[in-house]
Chains A and B, each alone.
Chain A
């Protein structure tokens, strides 16, 4: 399955703690984390991405969001947005 192989390739990068794929309504479709964390991440990050995208487009209507990175003390969350899906990857770069 091409999807599973792609996810495996991303998971095998250094420091990756989890991957979640969320659809345009914020419902998680595929995940490598446990259920409660997945639901929490999906809900919160969907709102954040929507806010970030509207911020970028309000400043310049010709511009659009391509990538979002949230860096915290313990790890970094990378979000690749798209029309129908978001890919969320949680990485601990110092691992």
Chain B
């Protein structure tokens, strides 16, 4: 019944377990043959050269060259051994001594009063109600020149005006009559006397012309002028300054106007013209912006220049203040071309602005660099404050309230590093001393009725006691300052250094 049987095995394929072997496909490719070339180069001849700068004062350098080959001067060692102890003992005793504390010597007459020496005016200018727009002392310190015009006229005007000079050292000085009167076809807005030749005066006019007068000529005093050419300014020239040129002893005239141009002229007296030698145009798009200051460009793109200052320490730097409150540091040697539209000028204008300080809220009327510290300058404008700046940072070091109205001009004292004077719109001249604890002015010069604005002032560099102030009633007053405002005390330079080194937060 039961039999053995052999059956074939049955194979059932797994549904879930697949072969792990992936499908393989092989292909091959080959790049085209690569081309290789070799070449060699060999120098045939070589040259070596070097340069070396030489110290400037070669002649005196050789005097005290530490020549180790030369034998020491005989007897020097013994001499020093003999005197060393004596000298060190005296030095130490000197630092401890109180013998000279508070000891002061009177070499000159000390006047403690500020007094008015002269009150000069030109009668026909006073009759016509002209204002004094600018005063300047000559390089000898004895002649004062003043320019008449108007400061409150916004409109174009063609009034004639004058430039008058008085020589204060002359015996027959008549305050009501000027020694020299020059008739000028339009109002004069800027004036500057030549730093070396006492007869030359440069002036800027309301019409945009720049003129240089030679007061030693008896006939026509005009030495050179720009005339109305494509090169000259089209807007009133607010500041002129004499700038030393490359060649020693020669000076050029730098003029700045509210049209945004700063032009450098050279004097060509044979042809009677001023030749344009360099032009700088300030355009808002090219003004450098500091990162912390936001400044929205509005209105026209030119930056109207209202004040200019040269740095006595660095011949390449000049400072510019504008109508919109911008304060810029510029460089004469800048090569960037300006983005201003070309007006057919003979010299291509360049953009000089290098650094921008914190902008003010109104036009900057005056800037002046300190003659005692290379980085410090003071600026003032219509906000009634005088700001002390350092060239190295954008924010001001100090801001002092000078008056409640406009400040028209500030200038540092030529003898005291911490003192500067400011001419205000209320008619007073405030003299501020940074060395005093309180920030109220050290002296205030007021004269006559209030309501006459003091528009300009100038310190006399030769005779440090004199200060000239020009006012809107057409008078120029010369004041003698008291001794404590003109004599330097020993620690002032280091105090100014300390103020300059403060860093604004």
List chain A positions with a Cβ less than 8 A from chain B.
2-3, 6-7, 9-10, 13-16, 21, 23, 27-31, 35-36, 38-39, 67, 69, 71, 73-74, 76, 78, 80, 82, 84-85, 87, 89, 91, 93-94
Interface residues of B in 331-379 (CB under 8 A from A): none
Are A78 and B91 touching (Cβ within 8 A)?
yes
CB-defined contacts of B90 to chain A, threshold 8 Å: 67, 69, 78
List chain B positions with a Cβ less than 8 A from chain A.
57, 60-61, 63-64, 72-77, 79-84, 86-88, 90-92, 94-95, 97, 100, 490
Q: How far is the CB of A23 from chain B (nearest CB, A)?
A: 7
Are B100 and A71 touching (Cβ within 8 A)?
yes
CB-defined contacts of A84 to chain B, threshold 8 Å: 74-75, 79
Distance A38 CA – B60 CA, assembled complex (angstroms): 10
Distance A31 CA – B92 CA, assembled complex (angstroms): 21
Main SS class of interface, B: helix
Distance A69 CA – B88 CA, assembled complex (angstroms): 14
User: A35-B57, A36-B57 known; 6 other A-B pairs, CB under 8 Å?
Assistant: A21-B76, A28-B63, A38-B64, A67-B90, A80-B83, A89-B91
Distance A29 CA – B72 CA, assembled complex (angstroms): 10
Q: List, sorted by A's number, 23 A–B pairs whose CB atoms are closer than 8 Å.
A: A3-B76, A6-B81, A6-B84, A7-B80, A9-B88, A13-B91, A29-B73, A35-B60, A35-B64, A36-B57, A69-B90, A74-B490, A78-B87, A80-B87, A84-B74, A85-B76, A87-B79, A87-B83, A89-B87, A89-B91, A91-B91, A93-B94, A93-B95
CB-defined contacts of B63 to chain A, threshold 8 Å: 27-28, 35
Are B83 and A15 touching (Cβ within 8 A)?
no
Main SS class of interface, A: mixed
Distance A64 CA – B329 CA, assembled complex (angstroms): 60
CB-defined contacts of A89 to chain B, threshold 8 Å: 87, 91
Q: How far is the CB of B407 from chain A (nearest CB, A)?
A: 33
Are A87 and B64 touching (Cβ within 8 A)?
no
Are B73 and A76 touching (Cβ within 8 A)?
no
CB-defined contacts of B94 to chain A, threshold 8 Å: 15, 76, 78, 91, 93
